[in-house]
Chain A
């Protein structure tokens, strides 16, 4: 299995509530590319992202991250290579700044590195005016930007986004595109975006694949 691929999938099969939710016989996602995953509701996009984020164990088959097979004992280590941004931004009940620094603390970065990275991403995401606020006081779009900043600040080699434009204000769509492009170009971040928004994904994706009834149509 090539380590240059961000993901390798072999004979992946997932059953949910007795029905086949995913059936992906073979897929390689090269490192450093932006992929779009489009398809109707219930096509299996979120399930695939959960498996690729190593949050859900597939019923059968193998997943490789940078050439390393995902097993239970490697899951924690490999999970640090991946960040998933959920469709609905989930923010913890602490200030925006503390939300953004959460993953950096969890990953053991130094205080100075944390402070530098957090301030930089706050400015990049235009969150200066809300940095000290509690999540419950934010609009849906602001919360989405905080979640995005919290994911990007980790600079993981792989970034997964589930419907990132859903609650984002139109005014900030160019900012999202810009931040994703920057991560991809400057750090060769592999990005996989599940979305209904064809206009958004076609603007940045190297490749767009369609999903239907748990299968990829390439």
Chain B
């Protein structure tokens, strides 16, 4: 108990003194997570909107595949990307393994289905009469679809935030594809894992507290957006 108390005090001290190792790790994590969320949002939003507003033969199949991928374990995604980018893999020539780009690629692949599925589900809740109204007011197909999507904008933002929440707390991809290199690919979660295995809890606890604060911020924002929608 006293060890935990001591570690907690040290953790708080590390946070308030803006410890260099801690800030490097936190900023690396935020950079990777924000980058992957941005890329997955920029691709997943149009994909989800398109899926929700169009009708084609294999639509239901694609929805089923996306929904299956929602529950995909991060280590499986990490393993899949590893097989693509390791030195003998089809993308091995790009030398991506154990780089920030590899983590961002893996995290993007992890949350693309999530954002696509959530955006699709959000846009699908807008009644078809909104699209018809846009069309009868002279809008072309693109503007009509855009209008329908903008009716669901709060839920679409929630989808992106949910994606961010998923990648900021993942460990499988960062560990397998990043290699946990300090100052380069070490993230909050891989650092916590390493510190715990070394029996040094202070930095791990400090990072855990920051992770919880970020998760809390995401939840608060999500709730505010949900209320708005």
When the two chains form their complex, are residues A83 and B136 in contact, meaning their CB atoms are under 8 A apart?
yes
Asked if B134 is an interface residue, CB under 8 A from chain A, the answer is yes
Q: Which residue of A lies closest to B127 (CB)?
A: A90
Asked if A21 is an interface residue, CB under 8 A from chain B, the answer is no
Q: Which residue of B lies closest to A80 (CB)?
A: B138
Contact with B along A55-98 (1 / 0, CB 8 A): 10000000000000000000010011011101010101100000
- Docked pose: A88 CA to B137 CA in angstroms: 15
When the two chains form their complex, are residues A92 and B132 in contact, meaning their CB atoms are under 8 A apart?
no
When the two chains form their complex, are residues A86 and B133 in contact, meaning their CB atoms are under 8 A apart?
yes
Chain A residues with CB under 8 A of B150 = 92-93
9 A-B residue pairs with Cβ-Cβ distance under 8 Å, sorted by A, are: A76-B140, A76-B141, A79-B135, A79-B138, A86-B129, A86-B132, A90-B130, A90-B133, A92-B151
- Docked pose: A55 CA to B135 CA in angstroms: 8
Q: Interface on chain B toward A: helix, strand, loop, or mixed SS?
A: helix
Q: Which has the most chain B C-beta neighbours within 10 Å: A90, A150, A151?
A: A90
When the two chains form their complex, are residues B137 and A103 in contact, meaning their CB atoms are under 8 A apart?
yes
Contact with B along A35-59 (1 / 0, CB 8 A): 0000000000000001001010000
In B156-171, the 8 Å CB interface with A consists of: none
Least distance between B126 CB and chain A CB atoms (Å): 10
Given contacts A90-B130, A93-B151, contact A106 B138 (CB under 8 A): yes
Tell me how many residues of B have a C-beta within 8 Å of chain A. 17
- For the complex of A and B, the 7 pairs showing the least CB-CB separation, nearest first, are A103-B137, A106-B139, A107-B138, A106-B138, A84-B136, A90-B133, A103-B138
Chain A residues with CB under 8 A of B139 = 102-103, 106
In A89-135, the 8 Å CB interface with B consists of: 90, 92-93, 102-103, 106-107
Chain B residues with CB under 8 A of A148 = none
- Docked pose: A80 CA to B141 CA in angstroms: 13
Least distance between A30 CB and chain B CB atoms (Å): 22
When the two chains form their complex, are residues B134 and A106 in contact, meaning their CB atoms are under 8 A apart?
yes
When the two chains form their complex, are residues B136 and A55 in contact, meaning their CB atoms are under 8 A apart?
yes
Chain A residues with CB under 8 A of B151 = 92-93
Known: A79-B135, A86-B132. 16 other contacts (CB 8 A): A50-B132, A76-B140, A76-B141, A79-B136, A83-B137, A84-B132, A84-B136, A90-B129, A90-B130, A92-B150, A102-B134, A102-B147, A103-B138, A106-B140, A154-B137, A154-B138
- Docked pose: A90 CA to B130 CA in angstroms: 7
Q: Which residue of A lies closest to B132 (CB)?
A: A55
Chain B residues with CB under 8 A of A150 = 137
Least distance between B49 CB and chain A CB atoms (Å): 16
Asked if B59 is an interface residue, CB under 8 A from chain A, the answer is no
Chain B residues with CB under 8 A of A151 = 137
In B19-50, the 8 Å CB interface with A consists of: none
- Docked pose: A50 CA to B150 CA in angstroms: 24
- Docked pose: A164 CA to B60 CA in angstroms: 38
Asked if B95 is an interface residue, CB under 8 A from chain A, the answer is no
Q: Which residue of B lies closest to A160 (CB)?
A: B136
- Docked pose: A38 CA to B98 CA in angstroms: 72
When the two chains form their complex, are residues B136 and A53 in contact, meaning their CB atoms are under 8 A apart?
yes
In B138-197, the 8 Å CB interface with A consists of: 138-141, 143, 147, 150-151, 153
Q: Which residue of A lies closest to B147 (CB)?
A: A92
Q: Which residue of B lies closest to A108 (CB)?
A: B138
When the two chains form their complex, are residues B137 and A102 in contact, meaning their CB atoms are under 8 A apart?
yes
Chain A residues with CB under 8 A of B143 = 106
Least distance between A102 CB and chain B CB atoms (Å): 6
Least distance between B132 CB and chain A CB atoms (Å): 5
Chain B residues with CB under 8 A of A53 = 132, 136
Chain B residues with CB under 8 A of A55 = 132, 135-136
Least distance between A86 CB and chain B CB atoms (Å): 6
- Docked pose: A106 CA to B134 CA in angstroms: 9
When the two chains form their complex, are residues A92 and B130 in contact, meaning their CB atoms are under 8 A apart?
yes
- Docked pose: A93 CA to B133 CA in angstroms: 13
- Docked pose: A93 CA to B147 CA in angstroms: 9
